[in-house]
């Protein structure tokens, strides 16, 4: 149907590059890659080994994926990244960010240069991954404070509860809100209320450990999940946070404001992460009934 020259022309017109790679990792041929938004001319690779072009660890990874495709004889799809550090001889002028690819790898039915070989079509998915990451972040974080939202908190709580069930590692959850938050909005306006929420979030980031999970569950309600923390240590950390937040809110708003909270430690009676959160919530309301500006441990 098509002549050799026509087939070669068709393959060369592919927007994504299609590499013919041998079992040992040699670039035997290259077709396509005409979408110059994403790809540079790679014709100089032909005849070289991946070990000539890439650092050893990355070259070995590619050879391993080629081997898998040759063994399976079916379409092998992989996602991978390349950065300037992965390519030998690039000191300046290389990519200043990591580039992500999807590789679609299929074994060929004939040898190339005396070796089994595959065709490896590389599609640049950096932009797609960036959009997916942004959408994922938007779905997991609170728009105002940048802390995790309730959905992501429940996911983290569930993961830590499962780890607790296996390992019995102490873990505590601290739930709190701003006392008389409505008064702040009524007296100073909603921008001041937003400023108070942002202040709380910033103090949490500054005072809590990098292993802690910080979330705003809605309104003025926050949760801090503290892995590796029993109730006694959790009480100390929570009270320190309570004092720092009160001090910073007074400085920011020129108005004395406090928080009340409830602390719960994961325990054998708990059957799910919701039990821990419910107990912390009960502690929060106990603090409210007891006069506010305090933490109740349940």
Domains plus CATH for the chain?
A: 4-133 (3.30.450.20), 141-297 (3.30.70.270)
What does the alpha-carbon distance between residue 119 and residue 13 come to, in Å, rounded to a whole number?
16
The yes-or-no verdict on residue 253 having pLDDT over 90 is no
Least-confidence region, from 35-39, 229-233, 265-269: 35-39
Band the pLDDT of 36: cuts 50, 70, 90.
confident
Q: In which band, very low, low, confident or very high, does the pLDDT at 16 lie, cut at 50, 70 and 90?
A: very high
CB-count exposure of residue 259 (10 Å: 0-12, 13-18, 19+):
buried
3-state SS, residue 43: helix
pLDDT of residue 265: 94
What number is the average pLDDT over the span 64-72?
Answer: 96
For residue 134, what pLDDT is reported? 78
pLDDT of res. 176: 97
Identify the DSSP state of 49.
Answer: B
Can you give the pLDDT at residue 90?
58
254: alpha, beta or left, given left = phi > 0 and alpha = psi -120 to 50?
left
For the chain, list the strands marked E by DSSP: 17-22, 27-32, 76-82, 99-107, 117-124, 171-178, 213-218, 221-227, 259-265, 295-297
3-state secondary structure labels for all residues of 101-139: EEEEEEECCCCECCECEEEEEEEECHHHHHHHHHHHHHH
Q: Distance between CA atoms of 150 and 169, rounded to whole angstroms? A: 23
φ, ψ for residue 52, nearest 5 deg: -80, -25
**Spatial distance between the Cα atoms of 82 and 42, rounded to a whole number of angstroms:** 15
| Lowest-pLDDT choice from 20-29, 131-140, 226-235 | 131-140
pLDDT score recorded for residue 184? 93
Per-residue pLDDT band at 98 (split at 50, 70, 90):
confident
* 20 token code pair: 């013919």
Mind listing the pLDDT tens digit for each residue in 165-197?
888 889 999 999 999 999 999 999 999 999 999
Q: Residue 96: which pLDDT band, with cuts at 50, 70 and 90?
A: low
Among 268, 229, 224, smallest CA distance to 244 is for 224
Evaluate if residue 92 carries a pLDDT over 80: no
**pLDDT > 80? residue 120:** yes
């Amino acid at each position: 149907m098509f002549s050799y020259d026509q087939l070669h022309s068709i393959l060369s017109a592919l927007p994504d590059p299609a590499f013919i790679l041998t079992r040992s990792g040699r670039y035997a041929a290259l077709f396509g890659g005409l979408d110059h938004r994403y790809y540079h001319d790679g014709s100089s690779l032909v005849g070289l080994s991946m070990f000539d072009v890439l650092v050893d660890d990355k070259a070995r990874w590619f050879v391993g994926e080629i081997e898998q495709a040759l063994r399976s004889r079916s379409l092998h799809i992989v996602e991978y990244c390349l950065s300037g550090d992965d390519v030998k001889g690039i000191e300046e002028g290389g990519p200043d960010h990591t580039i992500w690819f999807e590789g679609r790898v299929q074994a060929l039915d004939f040898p190339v240069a005396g070796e089994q070989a595959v065709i490896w079509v590389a599609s640049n998915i950096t932009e797609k991954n960036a959009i997916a990451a942004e959408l994922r972040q938007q779905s997991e974080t609170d728009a105002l404070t940048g802390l995790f939202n309730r959905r992501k908190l429940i996911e983290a709580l569930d993961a830590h509860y499962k780890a607790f069930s296996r390992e019995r590692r102490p873990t505590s959850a601290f739930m709190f809100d701003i006392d008389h938050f409505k008064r702040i909005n009524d007296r100073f306006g909603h921008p001041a209320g937003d400023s108070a929420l942002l202040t709380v979030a910033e103090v949490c980031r500054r005072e809590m450990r990098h292993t802690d999970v910080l979330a705003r569950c809605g309104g003025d309600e926050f949760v801090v999940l503290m892995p590796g923390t029993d109730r006694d240590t959790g009480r100390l950390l929570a009270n320190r946070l309570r004092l720092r937040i009160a001090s910073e809110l007074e400085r920011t708003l020129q108005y004395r404001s406090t928080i009340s909270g409830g602390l719960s430690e994961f325990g054998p009676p708990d059957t799910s992460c919701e039990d821990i959160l419910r107990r912390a919530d009960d502690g929060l309301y106990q603090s409210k009934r007891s006069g506010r500006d305090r933490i109740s441990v349940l």
